[in-house]
């Protein structure tokens, strides 16, 4: 039976690339999304067109009841998950901290941090050998921003990713003896829609020449690192934070 991988925010960008690569490597794939049903359906259609198995589920990772329903749907329709990719993440329009509202900061933290915690919780409840599970792998999608701080752009987002780094380190140790590895990737500047949501659609184009590798990364390049961390190829990695950032 194929291993099952759940990718949150798998409808676009890095999540969609991860879903397509996972399916090509033989995983049965579940993708969650927030609003863009058409984009999620296109990912599922492409996987099925190549003979793979996939399912799209609408679920807001910042809402506990949605996360519980998401995992119950995967249990019911596909089976027990072997891998979780905590990919869903958001940023807001570029701003200085002095102009940030509480509502904005709470939205960023509730999706990027609370969402990652809730999905990790549901995954551990299913994977832990102490609870009768078969173990598994969790890959969190952090960001180089966790180290760089994103001044003048989105310190809230950068801080949320620092929390994801710490979640990775702590949870890796907490569940290491229960058959679960927990790692993270920290992408640099990757060409996806997320930059437009920051109000700066030209960000990738503008900054890429200044990067050590001289270009932005593609979602597929991040997906390959995620798939490696989810696979037994990385069997001695846990609590690792892998920069996929072209030297940034």
Would you name the residues annotated as active-site residues? 157
The region that residue 246 occupies, defined by phi over 0 for left and psi between -120 and 50 for alpha, beta otherwise, is left
Q: How far is the CB of 179 from ligand NAP (least distance, A)?
A: 25
DSSP secondary structure letter of residue 150? -
132: how many CB neighbours lie within 10 A of its CB?
A: 8
Shortest spacing between CB 68 and ligand NAP, in angstroms:
14
Chain centre to alpha carbon of residue 218: 15
What is residue 60's three-state secondary structure?
Answer: coil
Residue closer to ligand NAP, measured from CB, 8 or 168? 8
Q: Could you give the CA distance from residue 21 to residue 129 in angstroms, rounded to a whole number? A: 27
Nearer to ligand NAP, 172 or 223 (CB): 223
Residue partners of 65: CB distance under 8 A and separation at least 6: none
Helix or strand (DSSP H, E) at 171: helix 155-175
Tell me the closest approach of the beta carbon of residue 206 to ligand NAP, in angstroms: 13
Q: How far is the CB of 57 from ligand NAP (least distance, A)?
A: 10
Nearer to ligand NAP, 81 or 128 (CB): 81
Which of 178, 243 has the CB closer to ligand NAP?
243
* Nearest to ligand NAP of 133, 230 (CB atom): 230
Minimum separation from the CB atom of position 106 to ligand NAP (A): 12
Which run of H or of E encompasses 139? Answer: strand 136-141
Residues that bind ligand NAP (CB under 6 A): 8-9, 11-15, 32-36, 39, 60-62, 87-90, 111, 115, 141, 143, 187, 189-190, 192-194, 197
Of 141, 160, 129, nearest to 230 by C-alpha is 141
CB-CB contact of 182 with 140 (8 Å): yes
């Amino acid at each position: 039976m194929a291993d099952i991988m759940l990718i949150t925010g798998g409808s676009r960008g890095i999540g969609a690339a991860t879903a397509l690569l996972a399916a090509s490597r033989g995983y049965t794939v579940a993708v969650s999304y927030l609003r863009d049903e058409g984009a999620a359906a296109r990912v599922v259609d492409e996987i099925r067109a190549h003979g793979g198995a996939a399912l799209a589920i609408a679920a807001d990772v910042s809402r506990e009841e949605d996360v519980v329903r998401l995992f119950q749907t995967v249990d019911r329709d596909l089976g027990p998950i072997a891998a979780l990719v905590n990919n869903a993440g958001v940023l807001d329009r570029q701003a200085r901290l002095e102009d940030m509202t509480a509502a904005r900061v709470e939205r960023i933290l509730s999706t990027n941090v609370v969402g990652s915690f809730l999905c990790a919780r549901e995954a551990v409840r299913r994977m832990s050998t102490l609870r009768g599970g078969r173990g598994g792998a969790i890959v969190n999608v952090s960001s180089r921003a966790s180290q760089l701080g994103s001044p003048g752009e989105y310190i809230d987002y950068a801080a949320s990713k620092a929390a994801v780094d710490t979640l990775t380190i702590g949870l890796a140790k907490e569940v290491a003896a229960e058959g679960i590895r927990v790692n993270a990737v920290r992408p640099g500047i990757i060409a996806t829609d997320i930059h437009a949501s920051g109000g700066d659609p030209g960000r990738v184009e503008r900054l890429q020449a200044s990067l050590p590798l001289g270009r932005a990364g593609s979602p597929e390049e991040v997906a390959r690192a995620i798939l490696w961390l989810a696979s037994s190829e990385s069997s001695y990695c846990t609590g690792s934070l892998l920069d996929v950032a072209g030297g940034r």
